[in-house]
Amino acid sequence: DQQVKQNSPSLSVQEGRISILNCDYTNSMFDYFLWYKKYPAEGPTFLISISSIKDKNEDGRFTVFLNKSAKHLSLHIVPSQPGDSAVYFCAASGEDDKIIFGKGTRLHILP
Protein backbone atom coordinates (compact mmCIF):
# COMPACT_ATOMS: atom_id res chain seq x y z
CA ASP A 1 0.00 0.00 0.00
CA GLN A 2 1.50 3.28 -1.11
CA GLN A 3 1.72 5.80 1.71
CA VAL A 4 2.88 8.59 -0.60
CA LYS A 5 1.20 8.91 -3.98
CA GLN A 6 2.01 11.01 -7.00
CA ASN A 7 -0.83 10.37 -9.39
CA SER A 8 0.55 12.26 -12.37
CA PRO A 9 3.42 10.39 -14.02
CA SER A 10 4.23 13.40 -16.19
CA LEU A 11 3.47 17.08 -16.63
CA SER A 12 4.29 19.55 -19.40
CA VAL A 13 4.43 23.29 -18.71
CA GLN A 14 5.35 26.26 -20.86
CA GLU A 15 8.53 28.07 -19.90
CA GLY A 16 7.75 31.07 -17.71
CA ARG A 17 4.44 29.67 -16.46
CA ILE A 18 3.73 28.03 -13.10
CA SER A 19 4.38 24.32 -12.58
CA ILE A 20 2.26 22.61 -9.93
CA LEU A 21 3.18 19.11 -8.81
CA ASN A 22 0.79 17.27 -6.52
CA CYS A 23 1.20 14.61 -3.87
CA ASP A 24 -1.17 12.76 -1.55
CA TYR A 25 -0.36 10.78 1.55
CA THR A 26 -2.22 8.39 3.82
CA ASN A 27 -0.29 8.41 7.10
CA SER A 28 -1.31 11.30 9.36
CA MET A 29 1.73 10.63 11.59
CA PHE A 30 4.25 12.00 9.10
CA ASP A 31 6.26 14.87 10.62
CA TYR A 32 7.94 16.28 7.52
CA PHE A 33 7.37 16.31 3.80
CA LEU A 34 10.17 16.69 1.31
CA TRP A 35 10.59 17.22 -2.40
CA TYR A 36 13.53 15.83 -4.32
CA LYS A 37 14.57 16.56 -7.88
CA LYS A 38 16.29 14.02 -10.11
CA TYR A 39 18.12 14.50 -13.39
CA PRO A 40 18.94 11.51 -15.63
CA ALA A 41 22.00 9.51 -14.56
CA GLU A 42 22.17 11.36 -11.25
CA GLY A 43 20.89 10.67 -7.76
CA PRO A 44 17.92 12.57 -6.33
CA THR A 45 18.81 15.89 -4.72
CA PHE A 46 16.92 17.59 -1.93
CA LEU A 47 14.87 20.58 -3.03
CA ILE A 48 12.62 21.81 -0.24
CA SER A 49 10.78 20.53 2.82
CA ILE A 50 7.92 21.49 5.09
CA SER A 51 7.09 20.60 8.66
CA SER A 52 3.66 19.13 9.35
CA ILE A 53 2.90 22.09 11.66
CA LYS A 54 3.18 24.57 8.80
CA ASP A 55 1.07 25.07 5.70
CA LYS A 56 3.56 26.84 3.46
CA ASN A 57 7.29 27.03 2.91
CA GLU A 58 8.96 29.14 0.27
CA ASP A 59 12.48 29.09 -1.15
CA GLY A 60 13.05 31.32 -4.13
CA ARG A 61 11.00 30.06 -7.07
CA PHE A 62 9.86 27.00 -5.11
CA THR A 63 6.93 26.92 -2.71
CA VAL A 64 5.44 23.90 -1.01
CA PHE A 65 1.88 23.98 0.32
CA LEU A 66 0.53 21.50 2.84
CA ASN A 67 -3.16 20.75 3.43
CA LYS A 68 -3.26 18.38 6.38
CA SER A 69 -7.01 17.92 6.41
CA ALA A 70 -6.88 16.71 2.82
CA LYS A 71 -3.56 14.89 3.30
CA HIS A 72 -2.30 16.71 0.25
CA LEU A 73 0.76 18.74 -0.63
CA SER A 74 1.88 20.52 -3.73
CA LEU A 75 5.06 22.02 -5.09
CA HIS A 76 4.78 25.25 -7.06
CA ILE A 77 7.58 26.41 -9.33
CA VAL A 78 7.25 29.92 -10.69
CA PRO A 79 8.42 30.94 -13.16
CA SER A 80 9.31 27.57 -14.69
CA GLN A 81 12.68 27.39 -16.40
CA PRO A 82 14.20 24.85 -18.84
CA GLY A 83 16.54 23.57 -16.10
CA ASP A 84 13.51 22.56 -14.07
CA SER A 85 12.85 19.67 -16.44
CA ALA A 86 13.46 16.64 -14.22
CA VAL A 87 11.69 13.98 -12.21
CA TYR A 88 10.29 15.26 -8.91
CA PHE A 89 9.79 12.94 -5.97
CA CYS A 90 7.48 13.71 -3.11
CA ALA A 91 8.56 12.12 0.18
CA ALA A 92 7.53 11.96 3.83
CA SER A 93 9.28 11.18 7.09
CA GLY A 94 7.95 10.26 10.51
CA GLU A 95 9.13 9.04 13.89
CA ASP A 96 11.41 6.40 12.48
CA ASP A 97 14.43 7.30 10.43
CA LYS A 98 13.03 6.39 7.06
CA ILE A 99 11.78 8.51 4.18
CA ILE A 100 8.92 7.16 2.10
CA PHE A 101 9.05 8.24 -1.52
CA GLY A 102 6.34 8.58 -4.13
CA LYS A 103 6.94 7.19 -7.61
CA GLY A 104 7.77 10.59 -9.08
CA THR A 105 6.39 13.03 -11.64
CA ARG A 106 8.37 13.84 -14.77
CA LEU A 107 8.20 17.57 -15.47
CA HIS A 108 8.83 18.83 -19.02
CA ILE A 109 9.34 22.56 -19.46
CA LEU A 110 8.43 23.51 -23.01
CA PRO A 111 10.24 26.37 -24.80
Q: To the nearest whole angstrom, how small is the minimum distance from the Cβ of residue 44 to other proteins?
A: 5
SS3 62: strand
Cis peptide before 79 (omega within 30 of 0): yes
Task: Identify which range of 10-18, 46-54, 62-70, 72-80 contacts other proteins by CB under 8 A.
Answer: 46-54
Q: What are phi and psi of 40, to 5 degrees?
A: -55, 140
Among 77, 104, 107, 109, the residue binding other proteins under the rule CB under 8 A is: 104
Which positions from 60 to 99 touch other proteins by CB under 8 A, shown as an x/- string? -----------------------------x---x--xxxx
User: For the chain, what is the total number of helices (H) and then of strands (E)?
Assistant: 0, 11
